Amino acid sequence: MSIPLHIIHQPGISQRFSPHPLIQTEAILSLDEDTLLTTDEIDFAFHVWTNFPDRIVGYPARSHYWDDAKGTWGYTSKWTNDYSIVLTGAALYHRYFNYLYTEWLSPLLLKTVDQSHNCEDILMNFLVSHVTRRPPIKVTQRKQYKESPPATGVARSPWNDPDHFIQRQTCLNTFAAVFGYMPLLRSNTRLDPVLFKDPVSNLRKKYRQIDHIHRSKLLAIKDSHESVQCSGGSTMETVVKILAAVFVATVLTPDDFDSVAAASVLAVFEEDARPENIA
């Protein structure tokens, strides 16, 4: 099947959530330039999203908490029994939220994101939870969804920068102040395919590559990185960033994933809606 690719050059980090007219379908797959997901993982996440189109559905989860000692909201990437944020570095969401993000949010919020060149994913989670009063949905137990740390001499990912984390703490409190309350809601729900991690033959499983990236794929990425650096003067980082810009504007329809139709999903909701999580 032929799918057109459109490269859109727009300045500003918030432009990844621009309601561009090229986006014709309801689902948007949002990926960072260093995200690594298998086709099975994308297929499964898309199938889950079709059942919950009002949620952000994805892999990397984070959480917020109230720090009594400091009297401020805290942001953490630690693995706990719940979460309140699913990062848009590897997630699906409804295109309508692009419109709300661009046209409805306070200019102060967008200015905070653009000036810090950070936190656009947190702000999108604030928006979706505020509008729907529901938390995002994490799929499978995947922990690592980013490319391996770069070799010496190559620019590091901002996720490895301590200042980047401090900025996100500041953003969290700024957003809560502008919204007038904390809209993020905690959830202890994780959706896995039926037979996921069960001790049965892999041939019986619908999504055989879930939570597993073959070593050969990682080596292929490494080889392509070296080959691009050696020819044409370009770098793999530049190529991947261009592809990421395309992915951000790429939309999915059920026809794009024929294998999704017969998927089995274990959808068990145990959302934490206690008053302290709503206030």
| Active site members | 121
- Alpha helices in 117-214, H assignment, sequence order: 120-132, 162-179
Place of tokens 């922990």: 143
- What's the CA gap between 65 and 67, in Å, rounded? 6
Degrees to nearest 5, angle at CA 60 with 124 and 21: 40
Degrees to nearest 5, angle at CA 136 with 196 and 212: 30
Is 33 exposed, middle or buried (CB count within 10 Å of its CB: 0-12, 13-18, 19+)?
A: buried
- What's the CA gap between 138 and 87, in Å, rounded? 10
Strands annotated E in the chain: 27-31, 57-58, 61-67, 72-76, 85-86, 90-94, 137-139, 190-193, 251-252, 265-266
Q: Name the nearest CA neighbour of 97 among 33, 51, 28, 43.
A: 28
**23 and 95 in contact (C-beta within 8 Å)?**
yes
Q: Name the nearest CA neighbour of 113 among 155, 73, 180, 167.
A: 167
Q: Name the nearest CA neighbour of 145 among 240, 211, 217.
A: 211
